[in-house]
Amino acid sequence: MALKKGPSDLLGNSAWNAIAFAVAVLLNLAILPFVIFRLGLAAFGVAGLVTACVAPALMFSNSLGLSTARELAQRLAPSDRDEARRFFATALALAMIAGGVIALALCLIGAPLARLGFHLGGAAADDLNLAFALAGAGWLMQCLFAVFLSLFTARQDYRRIASISIIGTLVTTMSMLLLIPLAPRASTFLGCQALGFATNFLLAFGWSRRTIGEWLARPALDRGALHALARLGGWQFAAQSGALLAGQADRYLLGALLQPQFVGFYGVAQRLEEAVYIGVLKVGEILFPFFSTLQKGDDDRKLDLLLRSSWVLNVLAASALGGLIPVAGALLYRWTGAEVAAEAELVLVVLAISGILGSSANVFAFYLLSQGRSSSNALISLMTGIFTLATSAIALPYFGWQAAGWSSSVGMIAQMVTTVVLLRRTFKLSGLWPRMLHFVLVPLGAGIAVALTLRVQFGNAVFDHVPSWWYVISLYTMSAAAIFVAAVAASQLGPYRAVCWRDLSAIVSRFLPLRAV
């Protein structure tokens, strides 16, 4: 039988995802000032450019992992084991063959193209060959890891997924502390990341052999499995293309138009915003295999679950990302120093607003993917990427590097509009627009409005000395709490207030250490 997960299981899975991501974020954010100090902003910017060049390869590995997880999630019964093994064997063969070709191409042509496109010379150019070799090897480990990870994702075994993630992050962090002082180059930073990816792959391989070894198979291509993976993965590849444009367009243009240190400034602001945004995304990631089990359900039930899940995640996103807006200057000053804070504060504010807007489509994207409608996801992603790239190409030459964040906001607005249109076409039910307004748009709008108000009141302070961590953490916590209260209060003004309150109460009671009898 397929695994059945109730609300309590979903909340528990979200908790495991959140724990793993919290550990990863804390370690990554803690190590970044050390990395910047040892490498310098120019070398850190070069590492960011190499990462951006490798990012297109993620379109393949991410698509392969998601499509494999979806197919395996529908074949968990013992009677489906042989078919599931064929899908796993085919996915593993694709990862090894196609992944090996892509990794080799990155090693051979990545450095010459980067020198040409980003006008790099001197020591930075000399380090590019090794940087691309290590980054390519790290990506190949990610690709193989994605296939083995799909076994655990299909079973919704987020406890084991979280353990793998935490150990891999620890290995990356410790290797940076040990190796970067010995060789302060961009290639060392990328090599430490590759070591963490290799650790993830080895752990997933070992655990899968020990716990579900009967579901594994040697790499082999099966025509039927290959066709099914390609059908879903092809559209997902297109979706990943749009996400690549949206996520890396600013880095490409900054690298082509300006010096690497500006890519470093942007990378610092983006690293903070992405840490919070992806954290929220990880909490909702457990909905993908869950939605995959609901394909035969009626539209009313699907829409109800979709919108209620959206409300919970949108309130969380507005609170977590909105909390960055009032504290942006103080956080950057405390974390990386006055120079980075002065350059990147406004960019972080704009990126946080962009992340809040982008959260509107997250749950819907998981639903579409689980239902095999990757073409819709591709359309959403491509529209986002096109608007982001077009805005960057127009704004950056005229307004400088700090215009980079605005293009992301324009892209997310395009994503929101496209998502709403597709949602209306997917569910032809009465009363959809009021529900969309209540569950999706109201919490995001309330979060942005309250965050900007708090920024006017608290976020424009001029610091004579480095603000304390207590000040930064207190201001962030207070801001996030105020946004959360405002978003929940706004939900109590509409016709679906009882549903929102019931879901919120269920979540609170699930995680309270002591429950009322």
Q: pLDDT at position 171, please?
A: 95
Sign of the torsion formed by the C-alpha atoms of 36, 39, 45 and 48: negative
Ramachandran angles phi, psi of 285, nearest 5°: -60, -25
158: its two tokens: 């987020």
- CA 427 – CA 408 distance, rounded (Å): 28
Query: DSSP per residue over 377-389, as a string?
Result: HHHHHHHHHHHHH
Q: pLDDT at position 516, please?
A: 41
Residue with tokens 């127009």: 394
Query: DSSP per residue over 116-140, as a string?
Result: HHHT--HHHHHTHHHHHHHHHHHHH
- CA 503 – CA 308 distance, rounded (Å): 8
Across 15-47, b (16+ Cβ under 10 Å) vs e yields bbbbbbbebbbebbeebbeebbebbbbbbbbbb
Q: pLDDT at position 273, please?
A: 85
Residues of the chain with pLDDT under 70: 1-15, 17-18, 123-124, 232-250, 256-258, 282-299, 369-374, 401-402, 428-431, 459-464, 510-517
Across 97-135, b (16+ Cβ under 10 Å) vs e yields eebeebbeebbeebbeebeeebebeeebeebbbbbbbbb
C-alpha to C-alpha distances, 167 to 19, 137, 161, 203, nearest whole angstrom: 12, 19, 10, 9
Q: pLDDT at position 3, please?
A: 45
Q: What is the pTM of this model?
A: 0.68
3-state SS of 293-340 is CCCCCCHHHHHHHHHHHHHHHHHHHHHHHHCHHHHHHHHHHHHHCHHH
Q: pLDDT at position 515, please?
A: 45
- CA 57 – CA 19 distance, rounded (Å): 28
Whether the CB-CB separation of 50 and 132 falls below 8 Å is answered with yes
Ramachandran angles phi, psi of 465, nearest 5°: -145, 170
- CA 218 – CA 212 distance, rounded (Å): 14
**Domain spans, the chain:** 1-221, 263-511
